[in-house]
Amino acid sequence: MSDQAALDEDLNGGVPVTSRAVVEVKRSGGVVGRTVTFVADSSRLAPASAARLEELLEETHYADVSESVPDSAAGRPDRFQYELTIDAGSGRRHFRFAEGSSEHARFTDLIAFVIDTARSERDTEGKG
């Protein structure tokens, strides 16, 4: 490890510093049919949360997934539709898929993390 990397890690509470990652989840559909956007930006997260975001990205193997996913929601009313944009070290990737699809299953933990993080951030901003 370089001296700079060791210094960055020390300044980051002992958590290794990784490249910046921004994940945006747009969820639409459902019974109400509205679109809601949630964003997690590793540069704005606590060190442990930023590390968790990085772990989840690695677990999804998103770089290996095709961006052109067929519409798997046909004939499935009231299901959520997802648009997932990942801007990380390997570049920007965009995915579209429906709730209950195999693609949704791959990204479930990442989506939940981004939604929870964004909601928590909104709650914190509202109190300040």
Task: Summarize pLDDT for 30-82 with one digit per residue, the tens.
Answer: 888 899 999 999 999 999 999 999 999 999 999 888 876 555 555 566 789 99
DSSP code at position 65 = S
Please tell me the number of Cα atoms within 13 Å of 19 on its side-chain side.
Answer: 10
Give the torsion through C-alpha atoms of 57, 58, 64, 68, to 10 deg.
Answer: -10
> What are the structure tokens assigned to 11, written together?
């300044």
| Element at 60 (helix H, strand E) | helix 47-60
More confident residue, 90 or 115: 115
Alpha helices in 1-128 (DSSP H): 3-11, 47-60, 102-127
- Residue 116: predicted pLDDT: 96
CB-based contact 84:107 (threshold 8 Å): yes
Q: Choose among 94, 111, 124: nearest CA to 40.
A: 111
Whole-model pTM? 0.77
Q: Choose among 113, 126, 104: nearest CA to 52.
A: 113
CB-based contact 28:81 (threshold 8 Å): yes
Q: How does the average pLDDT of the chain come out, rounded?
A: 81
